[in-house]
Amino acid sequence: MNLEQARFNMIEQQIRPWDVLDTEVLHLLSVVKREDFVPLAHRALAFVDMEIPLGHGQVMLAPRVEARMLQDAAVQKHEKVLEIGSGSGYMTALLAHRAQRVISLEINPELAAMARTNLQKAGIHNAEVRTLDGSVDAPVEGPFDVIVLGGSVAEVPQNLLSNLKIGGRLIAIVGNEPIMRETLVTRTGEADFTSSQPWDTVVPRLLNFPEPSHFKF
């Protein structure tokens, strides 16, 4: 496989058509080696428009979904980022290139170890992966400028919103199959938030976040 041609095709045929036009994001996708974050058994699928199994019921999100979330997060060099769900560490690496610091929480110890190894090999020194449950464990380093959820949730987690700085953004895929929406929440005051839902997708759940009852009485 010609890796560079495959990477170019991924960017031009999957990611640009999904309205990812930020030149810094596109450049990052060309220099952060996605194939190095893919399990060896699936390396040939690194640039395919699909989710890649990581084991333990977890996946790497499709490249276009990760790219669009990265663009919408609009992370700045002075900002501190909290990521929920490290997976293989690929999104962590992308965020780290844009942020001052990234703290990433991964509930599965084996995936957390994989992410740490991948980040170390990639020379990323401003990201830390902790083996914690992001649905309940709040890092003492909060509040954060940006919070990114690496899987879907049924509703925006209120405990994470309280960990945003004023002016901070939370990016999550929210809803239930067959319709989920990327939800971008901005904290505009102590108790004030604005939100938008710019696009639809369906991705696997993050573990342990609340699932509201669907029973109607």
Q: For residue 36, tell me if it sits in a domain.
A: yes
Residues 64 and 49: beta-carbon distance below 8 Å: yes
Q: For residue 70, tell me if it sits in a domain.
A: yes
pLDDT of residue 56: 86
Q: For residue 207, tell me if it sits in a domain.
A: no
Q: pLDDT tens digits for the chain (217 residues)?
A: 799 999 999 999 999 999 999 999 999 999 999 999 999 999 999 999 999 999 888 999 999 999 999 999 999 999 999 999 999 999 999 999 999 999 999 999 999 999 999 999 999 999 999 999 999 998 999 999 999 999 999 999 999 999 999 999 999 999 999 999 999 999 999 999 999 999 999 999 999 999 886 655 4
Residues 34 and 52: beta-carbon distance below 8 Å: no
* Number of structural domains in the chain: 1
Q: For residue 60, tell me if it sits in a domain.
A: yes
CA distance 174 to 197: 9
What is the pTM for the complete model shown? 0.95
CA distance 113 to 130: 9
Q: For residue 212, tell me if it sits in a domain.
A: no
Neighbouring residues of 215: CB distance < 8 A, sequence distance ≥ 6:
none
Q: For residue 208, tell me if it sits in a domain.
A: no
Q: Residue 105: which domain range?
A: 3-201
Q: For residue 69, tell me if it sits in a domain.
A: yes
Q: For residue 214, tell me if it sits in a domain.
A: no
**CATH number where 118 lies:** 3.40.50.150
